[in-house]
Amino acid sequence: MYDQSFLEKFRETKAQFDSKLDAQNQKRPERQAEFSTDAGMSIKTVYTPDNNSGLNYDKDLGLPGSYPFTRGVQPNMYRGRYWTMRQYAGFGSAEETNNRFHYLLEQGQTGLSVAFDLPTQIGYDSDQSISRGEVGKVGVAIDSLKDMETLLAGLPMDKVSTSMTINAPAAVLLAMYVTVAEKQGVTPDKLNGTIQNDILKEYVARGTYIFPPGPSMRLITDIFKYCAKNIPSWNTISISGYHIREAGSTAVQEVAFTLADGIAYVKAAIDAGLDVDEFAPRLSFFFNAHLNFFEEVAKFRAARRLWARIMKERFGAKNPKSLMLRFHTQTAGCTLTAQQPDVNIMRVAYQALSAVLGGTQSLHTNSRDEALALPSEHSVLIALRTQQVVGYEIGVADTVDPLGGSFFVENLTNEIEAGAAKYIEKIDEMGGAPQAIEYMQKEIHSSAYRYQQDIESGKKAVIGVNQFLMEEPKPEGLLRVDPTVGERQSASLAKVKAQRDNNKVQALLGDLRKAAGTDENLMPFIIAAVKEYATLGEICGVLREEFGEYKQQIVF
C-alpha cells in the first residue's frame, strides 16, 4: 500500500515522536501506564503502517458493498437511505402498546419493534397461574389473535417493517402477524420485518426457552422453509449477540458465539434439505453497542468480514446476499445506571454513534430511565431524537465507513476477527454451538465476573457509581404499568374463548399434535389454529406435551 520512501520518512519522524512521548509521559503520572480495550486487547500509543498487523487492503477491506463487506453491505450505505430507526416498545396491554407505536411513528420512527411480556416469551397465557404478577410487566401480553389485532390496529403493515423479539414461540407470533395482515388485505409477500427466533442464545445467555434444542431447531427450520416460499421479504431469524453481551461477554466473545450460533442454524437448514442460497439472504443479526467506542466500531466490521468468509468458504454460498451480515443494533442496557440517569443520554449517544460508524442496518437507542423502569414517553422521545441527531445533523452518514483505513480501527478489526475465529474453531471441535452451550456459558460468566471486579475496584470508571458521586433527588415521571393489566387480560381472554368455535379449535390443536410427531412443516398447522383464535398457551402446551421441556444445567 505504501511506497518505500514514505515508510523511510515516516520512521525518521517516528523516532522523534517516541522521544517526545517519553518526556511527555513523565509529566502525566496520574494516568495508567498500560491501556487495553474491554476485551483485553492491548492499545498502543499510536498506530502506524509498521504496527498495523499486516493489513491487506485488497484482501481485508475492499470496497463497500463488495466481498468481504468489511466496509459495509451497501455501496452507498446511508447516502442512499438512513438506517431504520426502530424503537423497542411494549408494555401492559396491546391497546397501550399500540398507542405508543402510533406516537413513535408520528415522531419519525421508521420501524416497529415489539417487546413481549415474560409469559408470552415462554409460551403461557395471561390466565395461567404461572403468569400471575408478570403479565404486561416487561412487554406487551399477547394471548390470542385478538390481542395481535389490537396491537397492530391502524398501522400500515405493508409499509412499516416490524421486528418481534420472540424466540421459543416465534412460529406462533409470526402466524398471528401474518393472519392480521391478511385481515387488513395485506398479502404475505408484502410483509417486511424480523422475528428474533434465535433459541441457541436463550440456552446460553437469556433463558426464555421452552423446548429442548432438537425440536427447537426443527421449528426454526420449518419457519425458514415456510417463509422462503410464502413470505420472501421476511427476515426469518435475528441471530443475537445482544443478550450474550448483556450477560457479560467481551466484544470478541459476542462476535464468536453469535456467529457460532449462526453456523449451527445454517447447518440445520442445509441438513433439512434447504439450499444455502435459498434461505441465507434472509438471515439477519442483532448486536450490542457497548461503551468502548473504537472497539465497538471494529467489532461490527470484524463480524461482517468473518461471516462473509464463513459463508463463502465453509458453506459455498454463491449469492452475494448470502454473504452479507445485515444487523440491527441496540445500545447496551447493562451500561445504564440508576444513579444520575441523565448521564445515560450521553452513554446512549456514543453507543449509537459507534453502531452507525460500524454500518448498522437498524438501530434502537435505549432511554435514560431504563435502569429504573420501562421508558416513559418523554424519555423514549429523547432516545429517538438521539438517533435523528446522529443521522441528520453531525455528518457521519455523508460518507461510507468514515473510520475505514484508520490504523487503530483496522488493527482492532483484525484482532477481533482473529480472536473470534479461535473461539469458533474450539466450538467446532466440540461439535458446534448446541454441544458447546455450557462452554459458552462459562466463558461469559468469567468475563462478567472480571468486568464487575474492575468496576468494584475502581479500575473501570462508571460515572455516578464509582466516580463523581453526588446526592440525588428521588426520580420523578417514571412509567408505572397498571397493576390490573393481568386481570383485564384474563377477562379479555375468557371472552375470546367464549365466542370462538371451541370444537374447531380442539380439532385443529389435535391436527397440530399429530403433525408434531411427523416431519411435516408445522407452520400451516399453527396458522390454521391461530386463525380460529387458539391461544399461544394452548398451542405451546400441545408442543410441550409432544416435545418436552428444556431443563437448564447449572454452570459454575
Which residue did the predictor score with more confidence, 409 or 59?
409
Strand order in the sheet with 327-331: 234-235, 193-195, 161-165, 111-115, 84-89, 362-364, 327-331, 283-289, 237-240
Domain-embedded: residue 478: no
The DSSP-derived string for 8-52 is: HHHHHHHHHHHHHHHHHHHT-TTS-S--B-TT--B--S---GGGS
Q: Can you give the pLDDT at residue 318?
A: 97
Other Cβ atoms less than 10 A from the Cβ of 250: the count is 28
Task: Note the pLDDT tens digit of each residue in 33-60.
Answer: 678 888 888 887 766 666 655 566 667 8
**pLDDT class of 277 with cuts at 50, 70, 90:** very high
The answer to whether position 124 is within a domain reads yes
User: What's the confidence (pLDDT) of residue 28?
Assistant: 47
Residue 103's alpha-carbon distances to 106, 143, 167, 396, in angstroms, are 5, 24, 27, 27
Q: What is the pLDDT of residue 29?
A: 47
pLDDT of residue 483: 87
Question: How many CB atoms are located within 10 Å of the residue 239 CB?
Answer: 26
pLDDT at 500 over 60: yes
Confidence bin at 32 (pLDDT 50/70/90) = low
In this structure, are residues 49 and 1 in contact, taking their beta carbons and an 8 Å threshold?
yes
- C-alpha 477/C-alpha 473 separation (Å) is 12
Mean of pLDDT values over 295-301: 98
* Residue 472 belongs to some domain of the structure: no
What's the maximum distance between 2 C-alpha atoms anywhere in the chain? 86
pTM > 0.95: yes or no: no
Instruction: Report pLDDT for 505.
Output: 98
Q: 106 pLDDT exceeds 70?
A: yes
Per DSSP, what are the bridge partners of residue 167? none
Residue 388 resides in a domain: yes
Q: Is residue 181 part of a domain?
A: yes
Residue 27 has pLDDT above 90, yes or no: no
What is the number of residues in the chain? 556
No. of H helices and E strands in the chain?
20, 9
- With respect to residue 519, please indicate whether it lies within any of the assigned structural domains: no
Q: Which pLDDT does position 45 carry in this prediction?
A: 74
DSSP 376: P
Q: Report the DSSP beta bridge partners of residue 286.
A: 240, 328
Would you put residue 39 in left (φ > 0), alpha (ψ -120 to 50) or beta?
Answer: alpha
311: exposed, middle or buried (C-beta count within 10 Å: 0-12, 13-18, 19+)? buried
Per-residue pLDDT reduced to its tens digit, 380-393: 999 999 999 999 99
**DSSP secondary structure code for residue 310 in this structure:** I
Determine the 3-state secondary structure of 464 from DSSP. Answer: coil
CATH of the domain at 360: 3.20.20.240
- pLDDT greater at residue 31 or residue 62: 62
How do residues 220-233 score in pLDDT, each as one tens digit? 999 999 999 999 99
Mean pLDDT for the chain overall? 92
Residue 12 lies in a domain: no
Q: How far is CA 90 from the centre of its chain?
A: 16
CA distance 166 to 140: 12
C-alpha cell recorded at residue 147 = 390481542
Give pLDDT tens digits for 244-254: 999 999 999 99
Q: List all residues 6 or more positions away from 427 whose beta carbon is below 8 Å from its beta carbon.
A: 256, 257, 260, 433, 436, 439, 440
Please state, in angstroms and rounded to a whole number, the distance separating the CA atoms of residues 171 and 231.
Answer: 13
pLDDT in tens, 179-225: 999 999 999 999 999 999 999 999 999 999 999 999 999 999 999 99
The C-alpha cell of 231 is what?
413470505
**Which residues touch 252 (CB under 8 Å, ≥6 apart)?**
39, 299, 416, 419, 420, 423
Smallest CA-to-CA distance from 113 within 374, 361, 364, 286 is with: 364
Q: Is residue 154 part of a domain?
A: yes
Number of structural domains (the chain) is: 1
The angle, 0 to 180 degrees and rounded to 10, between the axes of the packed helices 170-183 and 536-547 is 140
pLDDT at 554 exceeding the cut of 70: no
Q: Which domain holds residue 348?
A: 57-457
pLDDT in tens, 89-104: 899 999 999 999 999 9
Pairing of strands 234-235, 283-289: unpaired
